[in-house]
Amino acid sequence: MKITVFLGAPGSGKGTQAKRLALSHGFTHLSTGDMLRAAITEKTALGLKAKGFMDQGALVPDNLMIDLIGETLAKLPNTSTILLDGFPRTVPQAKALDANPRTTVHQAIYFSIPEKALIQRLTGRRTCKKCGEPYHLLYVTPKVAGKCDKCGSDLIQRPDDTEEVARHRLEVFRGQNEGLLAYYRQEKKLNELNADQDVLKIESLLTKFLEA
Ligand code: AMP
């Protein structure tokens, strides 16, 4: 199966774009963060192990993540075209993905954005509790405050989007990012995108990358 990896800081818009492209183009969107949050809600063994790391804004250990993505990919048909959002986050994860005989990483797209934009993006983020639709207190406001336009459910803030945890997540990102970019650059698979612009503009640039 064909994989495009979305790389970028928390808050750079990877999830928003992956959701839009999944709807408009029929790609399969896999977000490891969403999978872990679901595992926490369902109180699975993985969820219980992951929660402490996530609450602190730390990375969940590679072995757990590599198993999670391996099991998820194993359930998908070979014909799937996948947008991978939030994985890999470390070079060992990138290597594990390349070692999977059923998958080919086609390209890695780096959502580049100035750091100063990120804290406001993260702390203002809200998500529909039920359908996962993303909002922002300043940029993408719902018609009725606190309620989802699509399904009317409550909007919630992720516990790791508070300022303190968000700052730590950005530090963790900085610690891993150069290594990951170097990995995909050396593989000649890296494309960079200016993620500090209009959502529709980014979507159209991504569509060009994905159709290339
Ligand atoms: P995200 O929704 O992608 O921002 O991920 C939320 C949190 O889930 C991260 O801060 C990590 O604690 C954890 N997480 C998600 N994906 C990974 C990954 N590939 N490796 C390690 N931890 C991850």
For residue range 25-69, what is the model confidence (pLDDT) as tens digits?
Answer: 999 999 999 999 999 999 999 999 999 999 999 999 999 999 999
Cα of 148 vs centre of ligand 1, distance in Å, is 24
Percent above pLDDT 70 for the chain: 100
Kindly report whether the global pTM for this prediction surpasses the value 0.75: yes
Residue 205 Cα distances to 53, 151, 208, 210, angstroms: 34, 29, 5, 9
AA identity, residue 100: N
| pLDDT top residue among 212 and 129 | 129
Q: Is the CB of 11 under 6 A from ligand 1?
A: no
Q: Would you say residue 116 has pLDDT above 90? A: no
pLDDT in tens, 151-188: 999 999 999 999 999 999 999 999 999 999 999 999 99
89 labelled catalytic: yes
In this structure, are residues 195 and 12 in contact, taking their beta carbons and an 8 Å threshold?
Answer: yes
Answer yes or no: 174 catalytic. Answer: no
Atom of ligand 1 nearest to the CA of 34: 2
6 ligand 1 Cβ < 6 A: no
Ligand 1, atom 2: nearest CA belongs to which residue? 33
